């Protein structure tokens, strides 16, 4: 777990601190007022960051169990185990969501379109404020 307190940092600040390379790709340097962002971005270790405006949620892939096909919650395609993964998203102190997504997120997001992405965002955000003990 990180030591960041979401209230003190905007999600973009978090993204910049945790994943500076990704941040630079997304927003560039010296661009204080980027347009409202909505999208999933590969970060590190197979994780994905869902960014919507100044909100950010991290999707952590879980080890696959079983052999059933997966149903992508974003583009709604049926995927094999090698094409999709189950991701865990912590949305609150005691609340976790599980989302199945294609591993190849770019074409997945194209299939889903902005509406699919905003539906996914609506399932994740707003995050509960989380405070560490």
Q: Cβ closer to Zn ion: 2 or 118?
A: 118
CB 51 within 8 A of CB 38: yes
Shortest distance in whole angstroms from residue 79 CB to Zn ion: 7
* Rounded Cα gap, residues 128 and 92, in angstroms: 5
Gyration radius from the chain CA atoms: 15
From residue 35 to residue 74, the character string flagging contacts with Zn ion as x (rule: CB under 5 A) and all else as - is -------------------------------------x-x
- What is the number of helices (H) and of strands (E) in the chain? 3, 7
From residue 101 to residue 120, the character string flagging contacts with Zn ion as x (rule: CB under 5 A) and all else as - is -x-----x------------
- The site for Zn ion (CB under 5 A) is made up of 72, 74-75, 102, 108
């Amino acid at each position: 777990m990180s030591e960041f307190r979401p209230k003190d940092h905007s999600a973009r600040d978090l993204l910049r601190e945790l994943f500076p390379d990704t941040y630079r790709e997304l927003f560039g340097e010296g661009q204080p007022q980027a347009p409202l962002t909505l999208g999933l971005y590969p970060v590190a270790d197979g994780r994905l960051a869902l960014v919507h405006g100044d909100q950010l949620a991290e999707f952590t892939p879980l080890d696959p169990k079983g052999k059933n096909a997966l149903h992508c919650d974003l583009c709604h395609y049926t995927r094999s185990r090698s094409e999709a993964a189950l991701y865990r998203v912590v949305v609150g102190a005691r609340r976790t969501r599980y989302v199945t997504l294609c591993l190849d997120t770019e074409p997945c997001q194209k299939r889903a379109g902005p509406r699919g992405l905003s539906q996914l965002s609506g399932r994740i955000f707003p995050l509960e404020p989380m405070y560490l003990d």
